[in-house]
Structures are given as C-alpha cells and as structure tokens.
Structure 1
Amino acid sequence: MKTAASTILGSLGMLHARPNTFGELMRVIISPSQVVQKAVQWASKGFSPDMVLHMRMMANRPVRARTAAVSCIQKAIQISGLKGTPRVALISDTPSFVKEMKQEISEFAEVTYFDYKSFAKSFDLEMNGTDKPLEFRSRDWGSAPRCAAFVDFFLASSARHTVITGAHRRVGTTYAQLIAALAAANRHVHEPSGANFTFLSSIHSNLLVDGLSTQAGWGHAWSRYAGPLSCPRQAHQCALTPLLPHAWWDGRWRSPTARDVRRLLGYGVSLSDTGEVDEEGLASHCRSREDHVKRFHLLPPYKS
C-alpha cells in the first residue's frame, strides 16, 4: 500500500520525488480570465517558453544576482537538453532589472516578458501602475498594477522545462513556488513521466556569506535550512528545489534558526539541531490540551 501511495503521491523524504500537491490542485481549480489569457498570448507570441526566470528584486539590481541567474539559466539549458535557441520568459517586480537581464541573455536565448504599458497601448486598455516614490507595498510587490502579476503568473506557469527562482534577498518565495508547481502540473499533462521538468533556485554569493541565514522566513523554500548548520561563504548556487517545500516533519537534516525553534515550541513541536521533531513530546503536548466546547441555544426549546 505504501509503494502504491508513493507511486501516486510521490515520496516526501526524497527531494526529486515529492508530490506536486499544490500544482495539481491549481491546475484543476484556477484558470485565467479572457483578458489575462489574451495578455499571456500577446507576451508569449503564441509559444510557451522553454524556461522562466522569476526574480524578486524589490527595486534592487545587484550585479551578483544577475550573474548567478545567467549561470543558472545556462545550467538549466544543459539539464533540459534543449537544442537550438531556448525561449526564456522573464518575470520580476522590478521592470528595470528585466531589461538588464534581457541584455545579458539575448546572445543565447530568445527573451520574452510582459510589458503591461505596451500591451495596454496596443489594445487601448487602461492599466495604471505607480511611478510615485516607492512605499512599502510598492517595494514589496513592484510598481506594476496588480493585474500584471496574474499575467506574469500564467505566462510563467506555461514553462515547458524549467522554472528558476532568484531574488535580491530571499529566494523561493510563495509566488515562485506556486508558479513552478503549476508549470510542472501543466507539463505533466503533456508528458506524464514529468521527468523533464526542473525547479531551480539561483542564490547569489552575497546571500551565502553566513550560510542560508538570510533565507529565514515562513514563506520561502530554504527557510528550513537557515540555521547554523548551513555552510557559510559559498559561491553562487543553482540548487535543485522541491515543488512542495519541506516542512519540519518531512525528514531529517533541517537546520532551524533559534526563532523557529521558539515559535514551534509554542505549538508543542520540539526540534533537534538537525530539525528532527520529538514525536513523543508532540503527542504528549496534544494529550495535555483540554477540549473546551461551549453550547449556546439560539432558539428556545421546542415544546409540542
């Protein structure tokens, strides 16, 4: 039974065989509106990209991040075994970074991205972003209108072979994870083996001075490894990334930060230095909690 379940759902403990739970759910549940689909077709020129690079830059443009991303794209081309000129879609919250990145890779790739201003002008639509000084939300999400993020999402999720996630600070955001998951699910429809789809994380060297400590945060793929066991002072990394991010209870050799240890302890989850959960302690914590049920009569008792 366990073998049959692993065949259907994947294996949580194996990096390359974790189930694509969210991707399969999204493939069934969500779909783009007609306008979004039209924008995706316009941006992609009717062809699905071979790979997608998503960079969350928060209005920053560090050279190291760009260099690492170029190297990761080249590695992805080798992994996928693509022949000829690959089609690469660029997604970022920082439009100026997209233009710089396009210049970097145009020599060996056909580049596409969604320019919402050109699209709006071509179809006489009103899509207003913000060119005002960047406040918190604009720095976090970018200056483009929110609808552009949906176009980027569905453009990126049409990737045929690879999704690469990179960032100025934290790599593997929830947005990037969902893009990769849906892209893999879409690819699985056309190629049931799913063997030729890869999710990669491009982590530039400045983020690795103190290991993965800068990747702390609940919504990021590498947060479970951000503690003291992560190796410091590494070169640029282009790391294979699971479509379903690891949770603390999925396996061994996590590296929790002190903050994560304190947070999880509040839920009764005691972690070792290698991220292993004290199962007996958790069970004891659950048994110690009392259930409190209060009943309220909304209507008076019925009398015959």
Structure 2
Amino acid sequence: MARYLKILFFTLIVAVAAFSFYQFGQEKPSKEWSGISVNIFEKIKLVGKKEVDLAPLKSGLEKELSGYQGEVAIAVTDLKTGNSISIEGDKIYFPASSIKALIMGSVLKDVEAGRYSPSSVDKLLSDMMSRSSNYAANTLMVKTGLKKLSDLPAEIGMTNTVLIHGFSDGDPNVPRQRFGANALTANDANLFWQKLFSGKILGEEMTKKALEYSKLPSVKLIYTPEKAALYHKPGYIELIDSETYIDTGVVEAERFSYVVSFLSRNNPTHQAGADFGLKATKIIYEWFAQNYQ
C-alpha cells in the first residue's frame, strides 16, 4: 500500500511539472516586445515586396507626348522589379541603325562559340557601335550570317522585329536575306536590352564586352547625367519615315536601373526629334531618381 502511494505521489509531481512547463512555453511575450517584433517583420516584408508603381510615370509621359507634333513610341522597364510600361509600344518603326545592337549580339555569340576570335571583330564592332559605321555593320552581317541574324529576334522573343538587310552608303551591294524592310517596336527593343543586360543572351564575359561596346555611341538621345551609365544604340535617318530618330538602351544609376526605348518619326525637324527624345527621357530619369531615394 505504501509503495502504491509513493508511485501515485511521484506521478502527480511529474504531471504538475509538465503542466507548468507547457504553460511557460505557451506564454506570450510582453506587449512591448511583441509590438517591436511585429514592426520589425512588417518592415522587412514591406522592403521585400515594395514595388514602385510606374502608372504615374506613364500618365506624365502621355501628357507630354500629347502636345508633340510627331509620332512617338516609348517603353520603360524597371530592372529592379521587371515591371514595364509603354506608349504605342507595339507600333512598328523603321529602326535605322538602332538595330545594329542585334548584330553585335549575334557576333559575340559566335565569338563565345569559338567561331572566330574576339580580335578579328573588335575594330568592326567598335566602329559599328561608336560611329555607327555601315561598312562595319554590313561586314559583320555577312560574317555572322544573314539567316542567323534574321532568326535571332524570334529566338530572343522579339515578335515584331525584322532584321533582313544591311545599311547603305550608296553601295547597291547591301546584304539582304529577303525582300522587305527591317522593323522594330519599343517593346521589342526593351526586351532585347533587358535580356542582354541580365545575361540571358550571352555569357558573363561576352555580356561585359557587349556593354563595353554599348557605351561607345557618340550620339546620345537618352538623357543621363554624368554619374549614370548608358548602354545603348541610337539610330536616325532623314530619308525614310521622314525625320526618324531612335535610341534604345539601359540606364544604370547607383540606386536604380531601367531600360528605355524612344522611337520617333515624322518629327517637325531632325533637331526637334533629338530635343524631344532628350526631354522625354529626362522625365523618366528624374522620375526614377525621385522614387528610388
């Protein structure tokens, strides 16, 4: 009997201890500590999910474009979030020399694959991207292959882009894959630069080379202050689509990066197209600077 009472007493002690431990484990932190914890995690969640809304930027650009006497298409992609806006983004334009960026991409893919050495195309690429040499572009088109070039836009996902012929300096022997004209949209141009910048077209080494070449153009239609980097390829022509002026590329600043494509035609004058491009893209830069402080 005494042995039975000892066992019962020991069991009760264990049960009380277990219940007390459970209650302690379930006890909630103080209100003060709980509040701090929630605030910290809420801030972390907000930082992780915060996205800058591009809608106000689009509204501002639409207002600016409505007062301009010319045809304009603009696309903007925030590289931090991947979000995009566009105005007439799928409208087809004659791209002039801006499409030479795709030739650069194809040639560097060849270099990456070992088809030829970097040194054999370095000067041609520099001439094509810096002073927009038509001779260099045509030579590189033949070197990489016209069929490969005509297939490249679809491989990237540029569904409205056509690259089937070269560039004339009065020479009738311009490289041509088939009858028709080159074509580009603002949305397609943005897709190209977004993929190029993020390393989805070339490997790391050739992506760096592509960006080096893309800093060379002597003509700049996309506004950037000195502290920001610009990787781009402009294009302009006075004979086709009357006063065409185009620039597409990536703006990289300390706190933000974005892709911007400005396509215009039927500008009142050549200078008007250049001035309006700088004005519109300055609005874009200043908007990003204000919203990514």
Q: Could you tell me the TM-score, scaled by structure 2's length?
A: 0.27
Larger radius of gyration between Structure 1 and Structure 2: 2
More helix by share: 2
Q: Could you tell me the TM-score, scaled by structure 1's length?
A: 0.26
